Amino acid sequence: MTEQMHKRVGSAEIAGILRREISKGTFVARDRLPPERMLAESYSVARGTIREALNQLAAEGLVEIRPGSGTYVAIGASEGTNPMVANAGPLELIDARFALEPHICRLAVLHGRLQDFDRMERLMEVMEAPGTDSVLFANADTEFHSVLAETTGNGLLIWIVSQINSVRNQEQWAQMRHLTLNEAIITQYNNQHRQIVNAIRTREPERAAVLMKEHLETARLSLTRAAAA
Amino acid sequence: MTEQMHKRVGSAEIAGILRREISKGTFVARDRLPPERMLAESYSVARGTIREALNQLAAEGLVEIRPGSGTYVAIGASEGTNPMVANAGPLELIDARFALEPHICRLAVLHGRLQDFDRMERLMEVMEAPGTDSVLFANADTEFHSVLAETTGNGLLIWIVSQINSVRNQEQWAQMRHLTLNEAIITQYNNQHRQIVNAIRTREPERAAVLMKEHLETARLSLTRAAAA
DNA sequence: ATCATTTGGTACAAAATTGGCATATTCCTT
DNA sequence: AAGGAATATGCCAATTTTGTACCAAATGAT
């Protein structure tokens, strides 16, 4: 068995990755992607592969390639999301999470397995790391709440939360993060995350739900406070 | 009767698994699935079996096989309806509604206006009318819960509930309605609807939420009872 | 205005990966 | 025992990826 069958990383894979990155909000509309040579290095792939992937995205109208200048995310690139979802405001989002996440905690208590807790643990470690900036924290936080939803094993809830998270990655939310996420808030969030996970671990559904409500109340407060300023 | 051949671990099984993986979202449109040799290893099956399964999927137009390149999820596969939503089971749906609707009731208390109550009133009259059959009732019931969501004025929640309701309109759910909706159940639902609306009218958020939980618990019970039969 | 740098566009051949296929064997059902 | 399906193996042809080199257009600094 000398054959290694290294998974062939092809243009389709790269195109898929970039598609996801764009729809996730890593690259926002009108922004310039890294040069082909740099993308090639970061994905450990030949430049020709990157070129082929970019040509696919260009054919889909997702990016615009300008020779000599760079490759830019097309203006209507992330319009795959629903208008209702795209126009959701911060308070609407918080209310929706208020509806969903406490009960998600209850269900997570019922279905939580060791591997779920491991994933949460890893994410909490990322969020608690000293050098974590607001962007890293926000990404880990979003994924943390996704894992919570996945723990329920309920495909419908998982999908709903993923849709909600797609809102959080919009452009306007980048500034919001910068305004609301100071060190004190992050510390508080980290404490609340730990408490929630502990409650789920010890199988206390109502306690987990209440803690999540408090967590969301904190988030709403820091939001309204930032809006006032 | 020629298809009663009950194969061991045949291509049909593999084809079914892959179909499920695609509709589950593990492989998204335009993605390339792993090479046949790798699929063979991960499913502990000969390459020929994988080949035949892939040919079945290709015949269904679910995947596109490109010699020398790979096998790709066809562009039009699982397009239109969200895979997660389409495959949601009855219990998943009830759990999701358990998460959403009690809090929707709380928010409805805060934002409920006269015209909202009028709409609910009209729908309740339809549901309570003597000649209402299960189909009419189910449609009115779905719309009732939609109005409840709209009453919150939260675009995000409205959209989520509309997505959830799109599940209830699937074909498979028609039978479910027929099995679960007898006259006694309908009467009970009507009473609960009235109580919920009254609690919202009198601005009692927690009471409305509790009543909604009881309503959903009733629905879950009649569902599990029908599933057992 | 000019020049150096950056960036995409193109070409080409070697190497690797992948689906297509043919063959013989084993296992299970009939 | 016979037939069909899955297995195991090997090789072929199509396609892609890679690595390199060089060109053209845009950008920015001098």
C1' of nucleotide C27: residue with nearest CA: B8
Residues A68 and A93 grouped into a single domain = no
**What is the pLDDT, as a whole number, of residue B164?**
85
**What is the pLDDT, as a whole number, of residue B4?**
42
Crossing angle, helix B90-111 and helix B155-168, to 10 degrees? 150
Cα–Cα dist A4/B46, whole Å: 18
Q: Which residue of A has its CA nearest to B80?
A: A80
Contact residues on chain A for B31, CB-CB shorter than 8 A: 12, 16
- Examine residue A114 and state whether it is found in any structural domain, yes or no: yes
What's the total number of domains in chain B?
Answer: 2
Residues A98 and A56 grouped into a single domain = no
Q: What is the pLDDT of residues A63-97, one digit of tens each?
A: 999 999 999 998 776 665 566 666 778 888 999 99
**What is the pLDDT, as a whole number, of residue A82?**
63
**Residue B55, nucleotide of least CA–C1' distance:** C19
Domain of A64, CATH number, reads: 1.10.10.10
- Examine residue B129 and state whether it is found in any structural domain, yes or no: yes
Contact residues on chain A for B210, CB-CB shorter than 8 A: none
- Examine residue A38 and state whether it is found in any structural domain, yes or no: yes
What Å distances lie between residue A195 and A104, A209, A214, B112, CA to CA? 15, 11, 11, 35
Q: Please identify every stretch of chain B with a pLDDT value under 50, giving residue numbers as ranges.
A: 1-7
Of B30, B96, B152, the CB nearest to A157: B96
Residues A203 and A104 grouped into a single domain = yes
- Examine residue A30 and state whether it is found in any structural domain, yes or no: yes
For range A51-60, the mean pLDDT: 96
- Which residue out of B156, B212, B217 would a mutagenesis test of the A interface target, given it has the greatest number of A Cβ atoms within 10 Å? B156
Would the pLDDT of A198 be above 50?
Answer: yes
Interchain CB distance below 8 Å, A164 and B152? no
Q: Which two tokens stand for residue B58?
A: 């290709």
Amino acid residing at A175? Q
Cα–Cα dist B193/B186, whole Å: 10
| pTM of the complete model beyond 0.75 | no
Residues B37 and B141 grouped into a single domain = no
Domain of A110, CATH number, reads: 1.20.120.530
Residues A142 and A196 grouped into a single domain = yes
Domain that holds residue A20: 11-73
- Examine residue B185 and state whether it is found in any structural domain, yes or no: yes
**What is the pLDDT, as a whole number, of residue B5?**
46
- Examine residue B21 and state whether it is found in any structural domain, yes or no: yes
Residues A89 and A191 grouped into a single domain = yes
Q: Which residue of B has its CA nearest to A90?
A: B156
In this complex, the answer to whether residue B45 has its CB under 7 A from any atom of chain D, a nucleic strand, is yes
- Examine residue B78 and state whether it is found in any structural domain, yes or no: no
Contact residues on chain B for A98, CB-CB shorter than 8 A: 103
In this complex, the answer to whether residue A7 has its CB under 7 A from any atom of chain D, a nucleic strand, is no
Residues B107 and B188 grouped into a single domain = yes
Are A97 and A216 a contacting pair, CB within 8 Å? yes
**Which H helix or E strand runs over A65?**
strand A63-66
Amino acid residing at A210? V
**What is the pLDDT, as a whole number, of residue B26?**
85
Q: What is the pLDDT of residues A16-53, one digit of tens each?
A: 999 988 887 778 888 899 999 999 999 999 999 999 99
User: In the listed set A53, A73, A93, which residue is the last one of a domain according to the structure?
Assistant: A73
From A61's Cα to the closest Cα of chain B, the distance in A is 15
- Examine residue B138 and state whether it is found in any structural domain, yes or no: yes
